[in-house]
């Protein structure tokens, strides 16, 4: 899912229509997979994407 086009196809196939209908999937951007917590401990996640809503209100 590191390929944006594969991620878009996945989201369109597996997320409910009421969710994908609110997202502008063309704005997806992959985020880092390592984060530092408030206690400065590293944690890893799976692949994380950020994107805009169709109404432009939030990411």
| Per-residue pLDDT reduced to its tens digit, 22-43 | 999 999 998 876 656 666 565 6
C-alpha dist (Å) from residue 58 to 6, 32, 38, 54, 55: 23, 19, 23, 9, 8
pLDDT of 49: 87
Lookup result for tokens 């994908």: 20
Percent of the chain clearing pLDDT 90 (strictly above)? 46
Lookup result for tokens 């899912």: 1
- 21 vs 48, higher pLDDT: 21
Mean pLDDT for the stretch of residues 44-48: 70
Domain ranges of the chain: 4-53
- 25 vs 1, higher pLDDT: 25
3-class DSSP string for 1-59: CCCHHHHHHHHHHHCCHHHHCCEEEEEEEEECCEEECCCCCEEECCCEEEEEECCCCCC
């Amino acid at each position: 899912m590191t390929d944006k086009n594969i991620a878009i196809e996945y989201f369109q196939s597996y997320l409910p229509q009421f969710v994908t209908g609110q997202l502008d999937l063309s704005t997806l951007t992959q985020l880092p997979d390592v984060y530092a917590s408030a206690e400065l401990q590293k944690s890893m996640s799976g692949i994380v994407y950020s994107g805009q809503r169709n109404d432009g209100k939030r990411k």
